[in-house]
Structure formats: structure tokens, C-alpha cells
Structure 1
Amino acid sequence: MDFKGLINKGKDALSKNTKVIDQGADAVNKATKGKYAGHIRKGADAAKKFAQDDKKPDQPK
């Protein structure tokens, strides 16, 4: 499997359950004691958006 295929496989898995992204962000926040909460939230939101990009029906590819 090439790199793009691997990325698409991961993207498909995350798009079906974006709750995993939030759980990961919560774990990192706990480990860093909230020191980087704003950055972590921003990254988690970007990851969710990336995972859900293919769900938009009218978006050109």
C-alpha cells in the first residue's frame, strides 16, 4: 500500500468515528495538565475537518 492509500484508510476510519479524535485530545490535555489546551483543541478541530472533508457532497475533487 502506498502512502496516499494509507492516509485514505486512516481518514476513512476517523470519519466514521470522530469521537476518537476528541478522546486523543483529552488524553494529551491530561498528560500536559492543560498547558497546551488551546493548541490541542485547534489541532483536534483541524483533524476532524480533514477526516470529514470527503463527506461534503457538493465539494469538487
Structure 2
Amino acid sequence: MDLKGLVDKAKAALKGNPSLIEKGGDAVDKATGGKYSSHVGKAQDAVRKAVGAEDGQAPGQAEQTPEQPKQTPPGQPKQDPPQQPQ
């Protein structure tokens, strides 16, 4: 198999299972202690675009818009938002 065939096979695998892109980025973030997380995020976006998985979401992940408050993880106490001075 030549290099082009290998690249095409990788693209097809990532397009068919875009969660692998997220898992790969998570592995790099873990290995680097998150030091390069902004670069990793940009690389993940570029890979999604290159393979045609541009939605940016792995299957089963819900998108959070700014209007939706972040959910408190289970077992964590809920925190009230900071009060603004009047």
C-alpha cells in the first residue's frame, strides 16, 4: 500500500468514527498535561474539516450553547452564580 492509500484509509476511518479525533486529542492533552490544549483543539478542528466530519461533535455529545448553563457533575454541590454589586 502506498502513502496515498494509507492516508485515504485513515480519512475513511476517522470520517466513519469521528469520536476517534476527540479521543486522540484527549490523549495528547493528557500526555502534555494540557499545556498545548488550544493547539490540540485547532488540530482537531483541522482534522474534522479534512476528513469531512466538520460538525465538531462526536456522536452522542450534545452541544452546549451560551444560553444553557453548564451541568453540575454528579456528587458536586451546586454553586449559585456570583451576585453583582448594585
TM score, norm. by length of structure 1: 0.78
Q: State the partner residue of 1:13.
A: 13
Task: Supply the RMSD in Å over aligned alpha carbons.
Answer: 1.3
CA distance in 1, matches of 2:31, 2:9: 28
Q: Deviations over 1:2-55 (max 9, x none)?
A: 2111111111111001100101101111111111000000001101111117xx
Work out the CA distance in 2 between the residues paired with 1:37 and 1:9.
27
Name segments (4+ residues, structure 1) moved above 2 Å.
none
1:49 aligns with 2:49: yes
TM superposition score normalised by structure 2: 0.57
SS at match of 1:12: helix
**Unpaired segments ≥5 residues, structure 1:** 54-61
Matched length: 53
Q: Which has the higher contact order (CA 8 A, sep 6+)?
A: 1
Percent of aligned positions that are identical: 49
Larger Rg: 2
Query: What amino acid does structure 1 have at the position aligned with 2:31?
Result: A
Q: Which has the higher helix share?
A: 1
